[in-house]
Amino acid sequence: MTTASEVIARPPTRLDLVASAMRPLDIPRANRIYVNRNLRLDKIEMVGFDMDYTLALYNQPRIEELSMRATLHKLVTAKGYPEAILGLAYDPTLAVRGLVIDRENGNIFKPDRYGFPGRARHGLASIDREHAVDLYQGERTRLSNRRYAWIDSLFALPEAVLYGCLVDYFDRHQLAGKPSYSTIWENIRECIDLAHRDGSIKTVVGDELAGYVERDDALAETLHKFRSSGKRLFLLTNSAWDYTSRVMSYLLDGAPKRVGESSTPAPYPSPYPSWRHYFDVIVVSAGKPEFFTEEHTFVDLDAGGEPLRKASAGPFQRGRIYMGGNIKDFQERARASGDRVLFVGDHIYGDMLRSRKSSNWRTAMVLQELEHEVTTHDRIRPELSRLDRLDAELIHLDGELNERQVALRALQKIEDDPSTDEPVSAAKRTIKEAIEKLRRDLRAAKIQHRTLESSIFCRPRTESLPAFGSPKRR
C-alpha cells in the first residue's frame, strides 16, 4: 500500500499556511458535518466513498427530468401507455426525500416521525387534512406493508413526480383499460429500472457530463488531505466501470491546483497522474446492498473494463480494478475492518443501514438537500417561530373551549335535574358568551396559521422549504 509520505507532493508553503490561517473558524451551519455519535478520525484507517450522489453530485432538476423522460418513453413503447403522456410537464418541487407512495389509493404523503401522514396529495391535487385523517388515522398506518413504497433517495424522486403526474392524467382522461393506481406504480418501477439497465439515462449523462454532473473544485484537495493524514481510500460504487471511469475522470483529472501551488510545471511528478491514483482500492458494479449481505466473488478487470482470466488473491493491488465482491473478502484483502473503516454514501438503505447491520463500519451520509434546507430554515426562522407560537395558541384555545363546553354541559345537567332549584341561567349565559368568543378567536387563529403556513411551504423550491414538509415535522 502507498504510504502518506509517498502521496504528499511537497511540504506546505508559506502561502498554504497563510491561506489556512485566514479561513473562518466558525463554519456556516449549512456547511457543517452533523453527528449523532462521536467519531474519532484519528482511529480511522480507511475511508470509502460511494460515487453517485456522494462524490458525484448531479444537477438535480436536469437528471430528474432526464429520468422522467426516459421512463415515459419506456412506458409508451414497452407498456402501451398513450403517447400523450410524453408531453407531461416535470415539476421538481413535487417531491422530496422521505415521501411515501400509497399504491392502493394513488396518494403521496409525507409522514411525520410517528408515521402519521402530514401533507398529502392525490395525484397532483392536495388532500385536505380532514380527508387525510379519515384515510390514514382510523387505523395504524403500517408503512412496511406492500401497499406503501418509500421515496428514500434522490435517485427515486422522479418516480414520485411521475406517479403523481400519471395518476392525475388517468383521473382526468377516462380511457378504456386504464391501469389501476397500483399498476401505474409497478409500471413506473419496471420502466425506470429498464432505462437505467439499458443505458438510456447514463449514456446521455456520460455524453454531457458538464450539464449533468456538478464539478466540485474542493474534491481533489479533500481526498489529498485524507491521504496526507495517513488514510487509505477506496471507491465502492454500483456503477459499471465504463461510466465510473468517465465520471471520476471528469471530477478529478485536471483538478484545480492546490492553494499556493504554481501553475508552472512542477520539478517532481504529480502523485495523481489520474483519478485512480487517489484510491488504494476501486470496486465497481458492487451490487449494494448485496455486497453487504451475500458472498459474491471479486472479479479483476483490465484497463478496458474486461474481466481478466485469472482472478487475483491476497491483498488488493493498488491500481487494479475490481468488480462485485462482498464485505467479508473486502475486509480481509484490504486489511481493515470494523470501526477502523469509515464509509461515506447517500443511500439510507443500500449504503448506511445494510453496512451497519453487516459490519461495524462507521458511516457518514451525504444529504445533498440539507444545505438548502438549513440555509432556508435560518432565513425564515422568525416566520417559523411565529408558526410555533400560533401552534401553541391553537392548542391553548382548543383546551379553553373544551373546558367551557364541559362546564356548560354540567350546568345543563343541574338545570335539568328536578330535585334542584339552583338558578343557573346567568352562569350558562356567561359561559355561552365565552364559548362564542373562543370560537371566534380559534377561527381567526386557524386562518392566520393556514395563511402563514402556506406562505412558508408553498413558495418556489429555490426560495422556501419543500412543499411536502418542514424540518420540524421530519
Active site residues: 50, 52
3-class secondary structure, 39? coil
Calculate the dihedral angle through the C-alpha atoms of 148, 151, 157, 158, rounding to the nearest 10 degrees. Answer: -30
| CB of 200 closer than 8 Å to CB of 73 | yes
Using the CB atoms, write b or e for 171-180: b if 16+ within 10 Å.
eeeeeeeebe
Q: How far apart are CA 84 and CA 147, in angstroms?
A: 28
Q: How far apart are CA 163 and CA 103, in angstroms?
A: 9
DSSP label at residue 352: I
Q: How far is CA 48 from the centre of its chain?
A: 19
On the CB side of 354, how many CA atoms lie within 13 Å of its CA? 16
Whole-number Cα distances in Å, 361 to 268, 285, 287, 332, 445: 37, 20, 18, 14, 50
Query: What are the DSSP E strand ranges found in 313-417?
Result: 321-324, 341-345, 362-365
3-class secondary structure, 321? strand
| CB of 375 closer than 8 Å to CB of 32 | no
Ramachandran angles phi, psi of 229, nearest 5°: -90, 10
Q: How far apart are CA 225 and CA 9, in angstroms?
A: 11
Q: How far apart are CA 460 and CA 471, in angstroms?
A: 17
Total residue count of the chain as it appears in this document: 474
Grid coordinates 338558578 are at which residue? 423
Q: How far apart are CA 452 and CA 455, in angstroms?
A: 5
Q: How far apart are CA 229 and CA 232, in angstroms?
A: 9
DSSP label at residue 306: P
The kind and range of the H/E element at 72 are helix 60-79
| CB of 59 closer than 8 Å to CB of 245 | no
